[in-house]
Amino acid sequence: MEEIPTSPQSTQTLSVLLSLSDIDECTAGTHNCRADQVCINLRGSFTCQCPPGYQKRGEQCVDIDECAIPPYCHQRCVNTPGSFYCQCSPGFQLAANNYTCVDINECDASNQCAQQCYNILGSFICQCNQGYELSSDRLNCEDIDECRTSSYLCQYQCVNEPGKFSCMCPQGYQVVRGRTCQDINECETTNECREDEICWNYHGGFRCYPRNPCQDPYVLTSENRCVCPVSNAMCRELPQSIVYKYMSIRSDRSVPSDIFQIQATTIYANTINTFRIKSGNENGEFYLRQTSPVSAMLVLVKSLSGPREYIVDLEMLTVNSIGTFRTSSVLRLTII
Q: What is the pLDDT of residue 12?
A: 52
* Angle at CA of residue 215, ends 319 and 286, nearest 5°: 55
106-143: what CATH class? mainly beta
Nearest by Cα to 336 from 186, 156, 181, 180: 186
| Domain 21-64: assigned CATH number | 2.10.25.10
For domain 219-335, give the fold. Immunoglobulin-like (2.60.40)
Give residue-wise pLDDT tens across range 197-246.
999 998 888 999 999 999 999 999 988 899 999 888 898 889 999 999 99
Measure the CA angle with vertex 108, ends 103 and 113; round to 5°: 105
Please check whether the domain covering 146-183 is classified as CATH 2.10.25. yes
Q: What does the alpha-carbon distance between residue 93 and residue 86 come to, in Å, rounded to a whole number? A: 10
Does residue 1 carry a pLDDT above 50?
A: no
Task: Show Cβ contacts of residue 203 under 8 Å, excluding neighbours closer than 6 positions.
Answer: 172, 183, 248, 249, 250, 336
CATH 2.60.40.60 boundaries in the chain: 219-335
Q: Residue 164 pLDDT more than 50? A: yes
Q: How many CB atoms lie within 10 A of CB 108?
A: 10
Specify the pairing of strand 326-335 against strand 241-247.
Answer: parallel
What does the alpha-carbon distance between residue 2 and residue 11 come to, in Å, rounded to a whole number? 19
Are the beta carbons of 114 and 140 closer than 8 angstroms? yes
**Which DSSP string corresponds to 244-258?**
EEEE---TT--SSEE
Band (152; pLDDT cuts 50, 70, 90)? confident
**Phi, psi (degrees; rounded to nearest 5) at 188:** -100, -25
pLDDT digits 0-9 by tens, 75-131 = 999 999 989 999 999 999 999 999 999 999 999 988 899 999 999 999 999 999 999
pTM of the model: 0.58
All CATH 2.10.25.10 domain ranges of the chain, comma separated, are 21-64, 106-143
- DSSP letter string over 117-152? EEEETTEEEEE--TTEEE-TTSSSEEE--HHHH-S-
